[in-house]
A = this chain, B = another copy of it.
Amino acid sequence: MSTINRRAVVLLSGGLDSATTLAIARAEGYGCFAISFDYGQRHRFELEAARKVCDALGVVQQIVVPIDLRAFGGSALTSDIAVPKGRDADEMSTGIPITYVPARNTVFLSLALGWAEVLGAFDIFIGVNAVDYSGYPDCRPEFIAAFETLANRATKAGVEGTGTFRIHTPLIHLTKAEIIRRGVSHGVDYGLTHSCYDPDAQGRSCGHCDSCQLRLKGFAEAGVADPTVYQPVS
């Protein structure tokens, strides 16, 4: 199956999962259009990471859409609520954490859909994961299926029958270790990616937030050297 010359929109945060997703979309032969969001996140180093990942993996175009979710408040990622540290896997799997950004993936996928419509692309890639995830409702397969249905009713192509949107979630059933091995096989340099929710001024990772912990565990289980630069223990 050749998908060369087909266009895909790829949601790219600059983290480990989305970088792997971009590498998979590239490997499947798509011409990739990466969309990143400047949404007032505290961990804005990920936007710089996204740019580096695009340069390294090759995209047709990258856009960064400014969308100020701080107007809503309600999440540790976009307000002054402290990022939780040192939670173990059991704690992470209980309830929905304060780092959840309300309707974030719904908003991001909607914007990706808008761009896809303009580009004439029908394939949208998002690196959501239902295994080693952080308990976010908008990372579940049921959510993705509902969005795909919506996309085909929301658009010109859906109404006019000229195409069918598909939301690709190549990581959804993989463990973090499997994601890392998959990425390594596609040549992803994870040293370019950024996962930490609470980096220091130099962009070094804290090693203790949920995102760092999942990442550390993933590299350990994958048996892959972790290229992340962590803050020195004080």
A residues at B contact (CB < 8 Å): 63, 65-69, 71-74, 95-96, 100-107, 109-111, 113-115, 117-118, 137-138, 140, 142-143, 146-147, 149-151, 153-156, 158-160
The contact of A69 among B114, B140, B154, B155, by CB within 8 Å, is B114
Whether B113 lies near A106 (C-beta < 8 A) is yes
Cβ contacts under 8 Å, A142 to chain B: 153
Cβ contacts under 8 Å, A67 to chain B: 65-67
What's the least CB distance linking A194 to chain B, in Å?
Answer: 22
The contact of A150 among B66, B69, B106, by CB within 8 Å, is B106
Q: How far is the CA of A100 from the CA of B160 in the complex (A)?
A: 14
What's the least CB distance linking A62 to chain B, in Å?
Answer: 11
Cβ contacts under 8 Å, A71 to chain B: 63, 65, 115
Listed by A's residue number, 17 A-B pairs whose Cβ atoms lie within 8 Å are A69-B114, A71-B115, A72-B114, A100-B156, A102-B113, A102-B115, A102-B117, A103-B111, A103-B154, A106-B151, A137-B155, A138-B154, A143-B153, A146-B146, A146-B149, A146-B154, A149-B150
What's the least CB distance linking A82 to chain B, in Å?
Answer: 18
Q: How far is the CA of A185 from the CA of B181 in the complex (A)?
A: 64
Most chain B CB within 10 A, of A68, A71, A143, A154, is at: A154
Q: How far is the CA of A109 from the CA of B138 in the complex (A)?
A: 15
Whether B143 lies near A156 (C-beta < 8 A) is no
What's the least CB distance linking A50 to chain B, in Å?
Answer: 15
What's the least CB distance linking A138 to chain B, in Å?
Answer: 5
Contact A146:B137 (CB < 8 A) given known A66-B68, A117-B74: no
Cβ contacts under 8 Å, A104 to chain B: 114
